[in-house]
Amino acid sequence: MQYQSQAVAKPYFIAAIGLFVGQILFGLIMGLQYVIGDFLFPEIPFNVARMVHTNLLIVWILFGFMGAAYYLVPEESECELYSPKLALLMFWVFLIAGALTILGYLLVPYATLAEMTGNSLLPTMGREFLEQPTITKIGIVIVALAFLFNLGMTMLKGRKTVITLVLFIGLVGLAVFFLFSFFNPDNLVRDKLYWWFVVHLWVEGVWELILGAILAFVLIKTTGVDREVIEKWLYVIIALALITGIIGTGHHFFWIGLPGYWQWWGSIFSALEPLPFFMMTVFAFNMVNQRRRNHPNQAAVLWALGTSVMAFLGAGVWGFMHTLAPVNYYTHGTQITAAHGHMAFYGAYAMIVLTIISYAMPMLRGRKAANSGKSQILEMWSFWLMTVSMVFITLFLTAAGVLQVYTQRYTDNPQPFMAVQERLELFYWMREAAGVVFLIGLIIYIISFFAGSNEPEQA
Amino acid sequence: MRAATGTQIFYSIRPCTFVYLTLVVLSLVTWLTGQLGLSGLSISLIVLGLALIKGLLIGDYYMGLRGLTGVWRWAIIVWLVIPGALITWAFIKVQ
Amino acid sequence: MNLSRPDNERTSKDAQYLQAATHDRIYPPGDLAIWVFILAELLVFAVFFSAYALTRANNAELFNTCQLTLDANAAFINTLALISSSYFVMRAVAAIREAKTQQCIQWLIAALAMGCVFLIIKSGEYVHHYQAGINLRTNLFYMFYLSLTFFHFMHVIMGMVILTAVTIKTRQGHYSAAEHTGVETGASYWHMVDIIWLILFPLVYIMR
Ligand code: HEM
Ligand code: HEM
Ligand SMILES: [Fe+2]
């Protein structure tokens, strides 16, 4: 660690991992509810578990992004963080607000929570991923503003690099597009339109800048390749991501009541969205092949390469699969969507956060560059367990989805939804089994932080 | 100094001026086709062919792809041939 | 693939000549990053062109009728404008290679002027359509026509922004006979804008 204030990243990373565990537990609960309908009913209904699962996901990824920024910006800017105290304060504000929100979901019925938090004054609740009470949303905006202020001031006084610039633009975009969650028009079409401005323009727009910047940072550090080369790649990747991703939003406008030309615009532009993800894969492998040195933290390199591959598979390949309007006509909102959502979110955003944690945590915990060999081996095991089980979760859901699309929508005599769901039971059991392996991988991941911590560094 | 290989070719102005005049003439032909109200499969395919030739000239002379060795030599050619083939097919199918 | 070209491809003019004489040229002129970008852009248009033609195959009557409402004369003048501006940009590159900075600037300005001509004429067409009440929702033909031309229109603007930046940097003396990658980069992008229009013009305005 080169700057004292980088240390504020540590609580962010720890919180991220803690919430990640929570997310997976609720995923497993839901996975079981898929096959044993009244499991944990009425204590934790499916809709509540779903809300907790997805909101924990978003929150831990955001914790990860913030930790990454607090770690990376001082080092890139070559100066201390503007205000480490503000960063710590915001950590606690965000954590407590998040915890209260999750408790609210679990302890009181959603409608009561809405009433308690004065949702009627400015109704924003009740939409997937944006279920948070309005006051929590306002809290998120405040945390985001303080965070951006802190980073902006740091960048102003220090060295300006392409990486911090791209990261900062991405984070500003993240905050700006979140503002659309306060729009909640009565017209359902417009409501959905703005909802996608948040959800799609996040994961297929500005988050890609954040992903690219973090990946570039880790690659510079671990490969020693010239900054100039890496920056040029970053430019091309983000330019492609924005061109295809912004108009590509149209792939969600096919059937929600917007004009028909979106079927063309959405299909054509989103069909090219895999390009920046593909470039990212080529980029990562190229840089590692051209490396000037062998960094002792091989686990971090593995995560970085893994991110680029899994993001391409999950977002690029699985996204492309159902992005053309004639295909999406049949697959819309089926298990195909869930398969893609899982692999893309894990492959791109969960893994990039795990990448920067893997790279930064040894230094944050007082080591020079890397963990002991023993710890790294455990970490690599956890990488493979989680990644391979996620591949299987995706494959089982895809199989379920193909069958669902066929029997429920494509054949000449379509079956009713629930009749089809019963036929998919076997796939849902297998998904749950793969999910258990994922949890085991996650536990090993956490163990790797403690194993061999008194042994010397990997050379 | 005026070696005839590599970057030198791209420097030379006279061929490029000739290319320019060719582009103007071919565009004129395309425009006249429209003015005269000519239509039909064979006319359309000729017009398309002229457009592909124009694209090739731009790629080779202005964008400097002529004389390259390796994949970049084919960048524009492939871009012209594949959509060109699809368009041809679509126009044949309709008639 | 290495996005920054090997040093020996851009150091000095002498080295370049030497290399030209002894080695094969592998990379196109300009920064390789712009070429990756150009390929991606060309891909979008290739998909759009093919989609146009394939949709037309099923709606030939509609397409043939509506096509007649377009102003082929305006499109022809615009074709000449873009061809000429490409030629001027080519001359600008040739000029800077001979270290003729002043000439380079003049050619670039001429090219930019042609870009302005294009934008003005095309805007006139749009105003005309707008007054006739035509929009993306009118029918499939106009959907494609407006999407394709407007997307290209945005590229003309983008290309002009790049060329303006190159002009300013040339004026500030950033480029020389030995190092002028920036000029070549802008030129390559501009030729791409041209080449797209050269297919678009006959496809949408003439072929029927
Ligand atoms: C890392 C990037 C990405 C992430 C995290 C992601 C995540 C998601 C999620 C969670 C959904 C479900 C939204 C809902 O609840 O309805 C979704 C839907 C969708 N995604 Fe992605 N995605 C990514 C990239 C892509 C890409 C690159 C494509 C296209 C090539 C794509 C195509 C789609 C489509 C077409 C849908 C709608 C599915 C439907 O109609 O049900 N995604 N994505
Ligand atoms: C490991 C075990 C996991 C299990 C058993 C699991 C299970 C589930 C279930 C049952 C749903 C609800 C689907 C529905 O509404 O029908 C869901 C939604 C979701 N999960 Fe997971 N999950 C797991 C891990 C993950 C991970 C690691 C991520 C991302 C990093 C993730 C991201 C999501 C997302 C984005 C959604 C919303 C998808 C959509 O709207 O289509 N899950 N999960
Ligand atoms: Fe999307």
Mean confidence (pLDDT) of chain A: 96
Residue of A52, A53, A321 to mutate, ligand 2, most atoms within 8 A of C-beta: A53
With CA atoms as reference, report the closest residue to C97 among B67, B8, B59, B73.
B8
**Structure confidence at residue C19 (pLDDT):** 47
Point out the ligand nearest to the CA of residue A39.
2
Amino acid at C162: I
Task: For residue C25, give the 3-state DSSP assignment.
Answer: strand
Q: What is the pLDDT of residue A129?
A: 95
Instruction: Give the CA distances from residue A16 to residues A9, A130, A144, A186, A406, in Å, rounded to whole numbers and listed in that order.
Output: 11, 19, 16, 35, 39
CB distance A34 to A422 below 8 Å: no
**Domain spanning C26-206, CATH class:** mainly alpha
Q: For chain B, how many structural domains are there in total?
A: 1
Closest partner residue to B30 among C56, C60, C206, by Cβ? C206
Measured between CA atoms, how close is A251 to chain C, in angstroms?
Answer: 15
Q: Which residues contact C130 (CB under 8 A, 6 or more apart)?
A: none
pLDDT at B94: 85
Is the model's pLDDT at B4 over the cut of 70? no
Provide the pLDDT for residue A457.
86
pLDDT at C23: 58
Q: Parse chain A into domains and list their residue ranges.
A: 1-160
How many CA atoms are closer than 13 Å to the CA of C51, on its beta-carbon side? Answer: 23
Quick check: C143 and A269 CB within 8 A?
A: no
What is the rounded distance in angstroms from the CA atom of residue C179 to the CA atom of residue A264?
43
Q: What is the pLDDT of residue B8?
A: 42
CA distance C110 to C115: 9
**Pocket residue to mutate for ligand 1, from A340, A343, A346, most atoms within 8 A of Cβ:** A340
pLDDT tens, residue order, chain C (208 aa): 556 554 444 444 444 544 454 457 889 999 988 999 999 999 999 999 999 999 999 999 999 999 999 999 999 999 999 999 999 999 999 999 999 999 999 999 999 999 999 999 999 999 999 999 999 999 999 999 999 999 999 999 999 999 999 999 999 999 999 999 999 999 999 999 999 999 999 999 999 9
Mean pLDDT of the A9-33 span: 98
Pick B24's closest partner by Cβ from C60, C80, C90.
Answer: C80
Asked if the model's pLDDT at residue B89 lies above 80, the reply is yes
The SS3 call for residue A89 is helix
Nearest CA to ligand 2 atom 7: A27
- pLDDT given for residue B1 in this prediction: 30
Task: Encode pLDDT of A167-219 as tens digits.
Answer: 999 999 999 999 999 999 999 999 999 999 999 999 999 999 999 999 999 99
For chain C, how big is the Rg over CA atoms in Å? 20
Flag whether B5 is in a domain.
Answer: no
Residue B3 has pLDDT above 60, yes or no: no
- Reported as half-sphere exposure (CB side, CA atoms, 13 A), residue A20 has a value of 25
Question: Residue B12's pLDDT is what?
Answer: 75
- Most distant CA atoms of chain B, gap in Å: 55
Name the token pair of C49. 């062109």
Say whether residue B49 is in contact with chain C using an 8 A CB cutoff: no
- Give ∠ CA C156-C158-C161 in degrees, rounded to 5: 110
d(CA A29, CA A9): 31
- Rounded to whole angstroms, the Cα distance separating C140 from B7 reads 45
Asked whether A181 and A137 are in contact (CB, 8 A), the reply is yes
Cis check for the bond before A185: say yes or no (omega within 30 of 0): no
What is the model's pLDDT at position A453? 85
For residue range A263-274, what is the model confidence (pLDDT) as tens digits? 999 999 999 999
Model pLDDT, residue A1 = 82
User: What confidence score (pLDDT) does residue C14 get?
Assistant: 45
A350: Cβ below 6 Å to ligand 2? yes
Q: Of the ranges A419-423, A454-458, B71-75, C75-79, which one carries the lowest mean pLDDT score?
A: A454-458
- pLDDT tens-digit series, residues A210-258: 999 999 999 999 999 999 999 999 999 999 999 999 999 999 999 999 9
Angle between helices A162-178 and A134-157 (to 10 degrees): 160
Gap between the Cα atoms of B50 and B44, Å rounded: 10
**Residue A13 contacts residue A7 (beta carbons within 8 Å):** no
- pLDDT for B13 equals 86
Q: How far is the CA of B80 from the centre of ligand 3 (A)?
A: 30
Task: Identify the band that residue A452 occupies on the pLDDT scale cut at 50, 70 and 90.
Answer: confident
Q: Are the beta carbons of A348 and A311 closer than 8 angstroms?
A: yes
Sequence-ordered list of residues with C-beta below 8 angstroms from that of A19, at least 6 positions apart, any chain? A56, A59, A60, A63, A98
How far C139 CA lies from chain A's nearest CA (Å)? 9
Chain C hits for A235, CB-CB cut-off 8 Å, are 33
Q: Is B55 on the interface with C (CB under 8 A)?
A: yes
C-beta A346 within 6 A of ligand 2 = yes
| Selected residue with higher pLDDT from C67 and B94 | C67
Determine the atom of ligand 1 nearest the C-alpha atom of A328. Answer: 40
Q: Is the CB of A435 under 6 A from ligand 2?
A: yes
Tens digit of each residue's pLDDT (9 = 90 or more) over A278-299: 999 999 999 999 999 999 999 9
A345 touches ligand 2 (CB under 6 Å): yes
d(CA A268, CA C29): 29
Residue range(s) defining the domain that contains residue B76? 15-94
Q: For A1-7, what is the mean pLDDT?
A: 93
